[in-house]
Structures are given as structure tokens and as C-alpha cells.
Amino acid sequence: MYQLKNRGGRRGDPEIGRLLKPLWLFLCAFLYLQGLTAQTGNSSGALKFAVVPDSVRPGDPFVVVAAGRPFSTSGGSRPRARLFGNAGRRIGQAFFFSLYPESSRGPVYAALMAAPSTAAPGGARLRIEENGALLGELSITIESREFRTENLVLTSAMSDILTVPDPQKTRETERLLQILNRTGEELFCTGGFALPVNSRVQTSRFGSRRVNKYPDGRSATSIHAGIDYRAPEGTPITVCAPGRVVFAGPRIVTGNTVIIEHMPGVYSLCYHLSKISLSEGQVVKTGDALGEAGATGFATAAHLHWELRVAGENTDPEAFVGRTLLDKDAILAKLGE
């Protein structure tokens, strides 16, 4: 043990400096290692990250969670999760929102995401970032999934809806993207969606690769973003889960349309309605009257097109039916609670 000698209280004593230097270096190294631990989230009491579930199909939703210290969930510093495919290209991102105020690790935050329907199977990587700095990384597996191919023969009127330039159509698309790419902070439900129509007959499935055949012989491919249910005109359509109506009105391509926000970044969309029973800003619950099925907009016959978007990504609506996406027990178990 070192014994400090009293030199009459003189300042700048070289022996005292020599003795304190190792302590100062140790303190700097300790603080540096603590900073690394906080970034990787690999130590008890530091930031902890998890993904639920850790294996998904293309089109399936999942949740990234973080706990350990408060996050800012507003403004430019909002933390986010970014998804990178097995080729290293970014294929999705979502912002975190406050989920539970407290756990044994501290407040819990969540980012809701979906594997794109075009994602290649294999290992994928999640990066959690804040202000451009890497906080942690997670792995997730994207499984293989086959989608059917559909041929859709278009009439001249349907062809015009898709191909004729129209400034109104452009404005409607821009507004739709603004809505669907917004991640709010209100949580109206945690999952467990219900079918919005009393029909089990799907005339077009989620993710179908469509070949649109035009009257002039041309063709073009597209991906069906939702599920089409057979529903004669006038069939009642109901709200699939609690939420708030963020759009209710006509659009050129999708006809009479209703969009409901259910969770931060999670929206349901009902297209081609003959009647709308809701208004923008209205808070709704499961089973409320939404409208009636129809054939408005780009439609070959009366039906309901039901779509789910998560962080702007097309997501399989069936993956939400009867499932609690934000399952508290599963989330806390993954965090080691």
C-alpha cells in the first residue's frame, strides 16, 4: 500500500502526482468500458434488446423491444430499429414508442415492424440506433414463403384508372404515404384483430404476384398488398380492432376508403366500399359499423380489400387475427424479466 507523505501542503508535489496517476487511468478505463457495455446491452442493468418472435415469414409482423434507460420518443433524436436483409441492404425501419413505463430494467420501448413480402429467406440483422449511434444489434431469421401468381384481365375503364396521368391521383398517393409512414405514440390496442367482414372466401390473397393484362396486349406485374374477400354490394363491413379513423373518403384507385390507426405505425385499410359509416378523427372499437362492401375504384366486382400496414410495409392481415402482437408476458420473458 502506498503511504502519502506530508510535504508541508505544497501544491504540485510530483510524488503525489505519480501516485494518483494509476488511479486516474483506472477510472478512465472503467468509464470507457461502462460506455461500451451500455451500447452493446450485454450486461445486467444496461440496455437490453429483444425481438419477438425471432423467426418470421415474408409479410409477417414482429416487435423489437428495448429496456434499460429512458428514450426520447419525439423529434429528430427518436431511436429506431433498422432491418437489413442477408445481402446487407436495408429493407425496413421503424421508430420506437413507449410501451410500458416500468420493468425491473427500467422503461420498455417497442418498434413494430414487418418482413417485406419480397424479402429473401435467410438470416437478417436488426440495428438499434439513436442519433446515428449504434446502441445494439439483433438477429432475426426470415423463412421462405411461396406466393401464388394471378392473371387479371383489365377492362378499358380499369386500365385508364391505372395508366392515365391525373394530378389528383398523385396528390392522393402522396397523402396516403404521409399517413402510412407516420409513427405516432398512441396505443389503441395490443393486437387480437377480428375479420372486418363475414366472409371466408378469399378471391385474392396477400402477396399474390399479379399480372395485369391490358386491352392493348401489354402486361405489367404488381404485388397484391392485402386480402380480397368476396362480399356482395351492401355487405356490412366492421372495424377490425380499436383505433382512430385517420382517413375516410373517396380515392380514384381504391374507391371509398377507410384507414384506421391501431398502434404506432400500424394501420388497417378497407377499399372499394359502396358506403362509409365513419368520419375522420372518430375513435372506434372492434365491431363498430365501418361501411358496406362495393366495387368503387379499381375493382372487377363487389368485394372488400382489407390491408394492414406496419411502419409503411404491406403486412399479411391474417397474421393479426386472434393474435396479441404486443404480448406483455412474451416481451418481458424475452427481456429476461
Q: What is the mean pLDDT of the chain?
A: 87
Same domain, 180 and 293: yes
Does residue 14 surpass a pLDDT of 60?
Answer: no
What is the pLDDT at residue 151?
93
Q: In the structure, what pLDDT confidence band is assigned to residue 157 with cuts at 50, 70 and 90?
A: very high
- The answer to whether position 328 is within a domain reads no
Question: Against a cut of 0.95, is the pTM above it?
Answer: no
Among 145, 170, 201, give the residue marking a domain's end.
Answer: 145
For the stretch 297-317, pLDDT in tens is: 999 999 999 999 999 999 999
- Average pLDDT for 108-116: 96
Q: Which residues contact 244 (CB under 8 A, 6 or more apart)?
A: 186, 188, 260, 261, 281, 282, 283, 284
Question: Does some domain include residue 43?
Answer: no
pLDDT category at 41 given cuts 50, 70, 90 is very low
Same-domain check for residues 113 and 62:
yes
> Comparing C-alpha atoms, which of 61, 190, 196 is closest to residue 117?
61
> Are 287 and 229 within one domain?
yes
Identify the helix (H) or strand (E) that includes residue 39.
helix 14-40
116: cell is 417485406
Verify that 291 and 157 share a domain, yes or no: yes
- Give yes or no: residues 101 and 195 share one domain: no
Task: Give yes or no for a cis peptide into 53 (omega within 30° of 0).
Answer: yes
Average pLDDT estimate for 21-25 = 52
As a dihedral over the C-alpha atoms of residue 233, residue 239, residue 240, residue 244, rounded to 10 degrees, the angle is 140
Count of domains for the chain: 2
Read off the pLDDT of residues 212-260 as tens digits, 9 standing for 90 and up: 999 999 999 999 999 999 999 999 999 999 999 999 999 999 999 999 9
Convert the pLDDT of each residue in 172-190 to its tens digit.
Answer: 999 999 999 999 889 999 9
Q: Is 39 exposed, middle or buried (0-12, 13-18, 19+ CB in 10 A)?
A: middle
Q: Is residue 19 included in any domain, yes or no? A: no
Mean pLDDT over 135-141 rounds to 96
CATH number where 133 lies: 2.60.40.1930
pLDDT of residue 74: 67
Q: Using one digit for the tens of pLDDT, what is the confidence trace for 42-55?
A: 333 478 999 999 99
Q: Using the 8-state DSSP alphabet, how is residue 144 labeled? A: P
Q: What is the structure's pLDDT at 87?
A: 87
Are 183 and 308 contained in the same domain? yes
Q: Residue 111's pLDDT band (boundaries 50, 70, 90)?
A: very high
Q: Is 122 domain-assigned?
A: yes
Residue 174 and residue 159 share a domain: yes
The predicted structure's pLDDT at residue 207: 96
The 3-class SS string of 155-213 reads CHHHHHHHHCCCHHHHHHHHHHHHHHCCCCCCCCCCCCECCCCCCCCEEECCCCEEEEE
pLDDT of residue 34: 42
Q: Which helix (H) or strand (E) holds 331?
A: helix 328-334
Residue 107 falls within a domain, yes or no? yes
- Whether 188 and 107 map to the same domain: the answer is no
The range of the structural domain enclosing residue 235 comes to: 149-320
Strand 227-230 vs strand 202-204: parallel, antiparallel, or unpaired? antiparallel
Q: Check whether residue 236 and residue 315 sit in a common domain.
A: yes
- Does residue 218 share a domain with residue 129? no
Nine-digit cell at 309? 400496414
Q: Are residues 101 and 229 in the same domain?
A: no
Name the helix (H) or strand (E) containing 332: helix 328-334
The secondary structure of 19-34 as a DSSP string is HHHHHHHHHHHHHHHH
Collect all residues with Cβ–Cβ distance below 8 Å to 135 and sequence separation of at least 6.
Answer: 39, 41, 47, 49, 66, 79, 128, 129
pLDDT at 319 over 90: yes
Percent of the chain whose predicted confidence (pLDDT) is above 70: 85
The yes-or-no verdict on residue 291 having pLDDT over 70 is yes
Q: What is the pLDDT of residues 48-83, one digit of tens each?
A: 999 999 999 999 999 999 998 888 766 667 899 999
Question: According to the model, what pLDDT value does residue 76 have?
Answer: 64
How wide is the angle at C-alpha 137 spanned by C-alphas 135 and 140, nearest 5°?
A: 150
Please give the pLDDT value at position 47.
Answer: 86
**Residue 218 β-bridge partners:** none
The residue from 145, 171, 198 where one domain ends is 145
pLDDT of residue 77: 73
Averaged pLDDT, 289-304? 97
